[in-house]
Amino acid sequence: MNANVSSEIIAAILILIGTCFSFLSAIGILRLPDVYTRSHAASKSSTLGVLCILTGTFLFFLITEYYFSIRLLLGIFFVFLTAPVSAHMICRSAYRSRVPLAETSVKDDLKVALDKSESGN
């Protein structure tokens, strides 16, 4: 087994791991009870899945074809830049719009702070 074959195996494993994380993210979006937990599943695991897929693709093209793709690196960067921020803003706007938490939620730490800010105190 030469270095080229082993690098292809590493790239394939990274792509497979990324696919599994993306699949788990899709299951989390379907199965979780409210917008807050769904947003968590959509942002955390799908970001990790996309990272693994893009890193595996980057390594594959770098090692097998000696092609350095700045587009893949920019894709990794922008996914990590935008996914957590967009998930945070979605959850924040849902909370301020009074979207209820799931019935299984134990504690709402922001309720007191939000009530104080709206009453003007």
Quick: pLDDT tens for 83-100.
989 999 999 999 888 888
At 47-73, the pLDDT tens digits run 999 999 999 999 998 988 888 889 999
Kindly state the tokens that stand for 16: 């497979």
- The per-residue pLDDT for 6 is 83
Are the beta carbons of 7 and 40 closer than 8 angstroms? no
- Structural domain that includes position 77: 3-119
